[in-house]
Amino acid sequence: MRKDDKIKVGISHGDINGISYEIIIKALQDNRLNDSCTPILYGSPKVAAYHRKALDIENFSFNAIRKAEDANPKRANLINVLDDNVRVELGKSTKMAGECSVLALDRMVNDMTNGLIDAMVTAPICKENIQQAGFSFPGHTEYLQKQFNSEEVLMLMVFNELRVGVVTGHIPLKDAPGSLTKDLVYSKIKVLHESLLKDFALSKGKIAVLGLNPHAGDNGIIGTEDRDIIQPAIEKARQEGIMAVGPFPSDGFFGSGGYNQYDAVLAMYHDQGLIPFKVISQGEGVNYTAGLSVVRTSPGHGTAFDIVGKDLGNPASLRNAIYLASDISRNRRVYEEASANPLEKQSFDAGPGDVDISDLESDNAAE
């Protein structure tokens, strides 16, 4: 973790034919971002100019630099990772675009590995064309997990105080129940707990765990996974002092606003968590990869090929991703410094949100 200057946030440009450049430029037009961090785009001045022209944006320019060390803390910086033969085709998925995505991502990860930047924001990629470019991972998360040798990671969606993680991610829905094990659910709870502590400065974070089946199984009447897998995983976490509660029936939990009573929610599968999250966040949510040794966020949406070049892109999610990356980097610095000093660590552990685990209860009743 860098400690010598303002936090440097790298941004990979994602798919050059998608919405990335529009939302990046719109987000970086707000100079208030420079108070929080020093943004560094890994991309192409040629591609940036193409998108600026398509959107008729004249009052913005990047500060071109060769390496992260040269970044101007008061400007939006750009490191060129492409050659001049790059071809932009707005709204189209092309092999060249996939190759450009990989080049930017690899350069940014290399700088992160060498301590030249403090956090990473990944703009949306097209999983189809990036696979054509030889990228052998389902997405950013799996790639970064391998690059930074992380044993367990968690996709965590963040919007203000709402944090929703998922036990099973990008797998077919039919495979989700069979993928659940006590150890897997427990490991995700543990990653989420540690992230609340180190990344969000919540020393006593409260975690709500959702059930898999309707009514959280009704005590085994509607499926046994909630009783035989999820509940034992929660109990194991509680025995270790983790404030995890559940399993909750997801419909009633979100419908009644129960999520407001917790610092984080753990869903069993992708859509169970992301549908209510996206309804609540209204396009402003952020995807954060908890469990990595480095900080990585991304906007909570895809390439949006259908609206590219039409000036319809909303930069809110990308902007929030940059702010969140900066905030988590600062929180990690504080935690690391407190951990290095026993007296400071004691003070850190006595932070807000303290609650006795016995005060937490789960209501698994049917609707």
Give the domain ranges of the chain. 1-150+292-314, 152-289+353-367
Fold (CATH) for 1-150+292-314: Isopropylmalate Dehydrogenase (3.40.718)
Q: What is the 3-state secondary structure (H, E, C) of 27-55?
A: HHCCCCHHHHCEEEEEECHHHHHHHHHHH
pLDDT, tens digit (0-9, with 9 covering 90-100), for 138-176? 788 888 999 999 989 999 999 999 999 999 988 899 999
Q: Is residue 345's pLDDT more than 50?
A: yes
Whole-angstrom Cα distance, residue 111 to residue 87? 26
CATH of domain 152-289+353-367: 3.40.718.10
What percent of the chain shows pLDDT beyond 70? 91
* Residue 68 DSSP SS3: helix
Same fold, 1-150+292-314 and 152-289+353-367: yes
Residues across the chain: 367
Whole-angstrom Cα distance, residue 322 to residue 39? 8
Say what the pLDDT of residue 366 is: 36
Residue pair 70/117 in contact (Cβ under 8 Å)? The answer is no
Mean pLDDT of the chain: 91
Split at pLDDT 50, 70, 90, the class of 236 is very high
Mean pLDDT for the stretch of residues 181-185: 97
pLDDT, tens digit (0-9, with 9 covering 90-100), for 55-110? 999 889 999 999 999 999 999 999 999 998 999 999 999 999 999 999 999 999 99
| Residue ranges in 257-315 assigned as alpha helix (H) | 270-281
| Chain centre to alpha carbon of residue 257 | 23
Q: Is residue 365's pLDDT more than 50?
A: no
